[in-house]
A and B are shown apart, each in its own frame.
Chain A
Amino acid sequence: MEEMNINEMKELILNYVVKEYIDDDDVKITCETPLISSGYVDSFSMVSLLVFLENRFKIKIPPSKATPEAFDSVNSIVALVNQYLKQ
């Protein structure tokens, strides 16, 4: 059941990332795709993602933890969200 929840979470975040950041229809990203280090997401645009995660999952991620590294793939974002869901 927990595995299922994680997959749903991944799908939800992946869909948001694609809608918010990927303009080119030819670009296909997965949960492993590096988002910031490969240039798909500008670090300046991360605030929207942060607000989305905080609102959707009812969590508060401190600015010091919302780093480009933590946001660099859907998988790492899911790990970050899980960390604060458990608190």
Chain B
Amino acid sequence: MSFPESIRSIYQAQLAEIHHAGIFKEERFIHSSQSADIEVEFPSGSELKKVINMCANNYLGLSSHPEVIKAAHEGLETRGYGMSSVRFICGTQDIHRELENRVTEFLGTEDTILFPSCMDANAGVFEAILTSEDIMISDRLVHASIIDGMRLCSAQHDTFKHLSMEHLEEKLQLHADKRLKLVITDGVFSMDGDTAMLDKMVELCEKYGAMLLVDDSHATGFIGKTGRGTHEYCNVFGKIDIITTTFGKALGGASGGCVSGRKEIVEMCRQKARPYLFSNTIAPVIVSGVLKVFDILSGSTERRDKLEKNAAYWRKGLTEAGFILKDGNTPIVPVMLFNAKLSQDFSKDLYREGIYAIGFFFPVVPNGQARIRTQISAGHEVHHLDRALDAFIRVGKKYGILGLTHDQIVEKYGL
């Protein structure tokens, strides 16, 4: 029980380094519910500012949907607040299993197991199903939670170049002698907004006897004709061995995640996955809300259709204005600025204009690939997008980057 100056100074020095590197993260306090229009206190202690939110994972605009809130209230009344237990002791309610069945049906898999978050799902799944005789082969741009999960697993790991099917095939050949081979990818990549070629990956996995795991956190609910995810979009519905996904983004945005897939894999997670065994599962109030989300999604594709239209409108507007975007057709639309400082200055100016969008730079994205990542929602109306576009154009003009090529922006601002 001692925290002398000698210890404190170690942490102060580390925090100073983070500040110095320009990667210190400051939170902005939102005083309203999550939606397209929010009220924000930033910096801390300042007056509230009304801004348009262009950086939430609230893809379907369900975070504050009245029916979801009502269902959550009902869940709170009928199933209580907490479970005070992990699942296998006395922490499983009927609605937990009901939600697992709904997810299984929605994703077209054999079974599903809930986790407190998709971070936990990814942290637990690899160790539960692989041993040191096995190999994990992942796309080089998979989400940080997958990387952490792989670190916790004794299986060997290798990577293939982002979206390169030729390189993946080379790796499958290189590791042909391993007992089990698991190929791992995001469905939609969160920083670039591009999409895995799951049809080709399924083909390669079948050819080389490998399993396929897809983290579809940035796809479940809205990618594909009926929003089932990247596997629906790529016409391989029912062919993915393992899908991990989250309820913390499009599906109401509260928290929780799952592993959904082959029934033996799910059962192995139920028996061995440590975040499942040693942590309470999703609270009843959230389970009730997510069940309502699936009701809404099963009844109509209106929201994902509107999201698709909004994203296309936003992409077209930015392109016509002369911004450089990452290619893609998802609601993740990265506006490329390349220079780290420019991305931070641009974001601050947007905020002054009433637009909340964050600049990302190395190490979150590769060096020289700084950008403003915008995320479109079905909760946006055209007037939100028009206002945001006006602000982007004004700030873009201020920095003189509209219509410039990559090389011209780099020449002007450096990398």
Contacts and interface: CB of A to CB of B under 8 A. Distances in A.
Interface centre among B150, B158, B368 (most CB of A within 10 A): B158
Nearest to B138: A44
Contact of B147 (A24, A44, A47, A48): A44
Contact of A42 (B140, B156, B367, B368): B140
A48 B158 CA distance: 7
Do most interface residues of chain A lie in helix, strand or loop, or is the interface mixed?
Answer: helix
Interface string A45-84: 1011001000000000000000000000000000000000
A47 B158 contact: yes
Most chain B CB inside 10 Å of its own CB: which residue of A23, A44, A47, A48: A44
B154 to A, nearest CB: 12
B171 A48 contact: yes
A22 to B, nearest CB: 10
B133 to A, nearest CB: 14
Contacts of B226: none
Given A42-B159, A44-B157, A44-B159, A51 B138 contact: no
B66 interface: no
B258 to A, nearest CB: 25
Contact of B158 (A23, A24, A39, A44): A44
B13 interface: no
Contacts of A24: 366, 368
B367 A39 contact: yes
Contact of B162 (A23, A44, A47, A51): A23
Given A23-B162, A24-B368, A42-B140, 6 more contacts: A39-B363, A44-B138, A45-B158, A45-B159, A48-B174, A51-B174
Interface of A: 23-24, 39, 42, 44-45, 47-48, 51
Interface of B: 138, 140, 147, 150, 156-159, 161-162, 171, 174, 362-363, 366-368
27 contacts: A23-B161, A23-B162, A24-B366, A24-B368, A39-B362, A39-B363, A39-B366, A39-B367, A42-B140, A42-B159, A44-B138, A44-B147, A44-B150, A44-B157, A44-B158, A44-B159, A45-B140, A45-B158, A45-B159, A47-B156, A47-B157, A47-B158, A48-B158, A48-B159, A48-B171, A48-B174, A51-B174
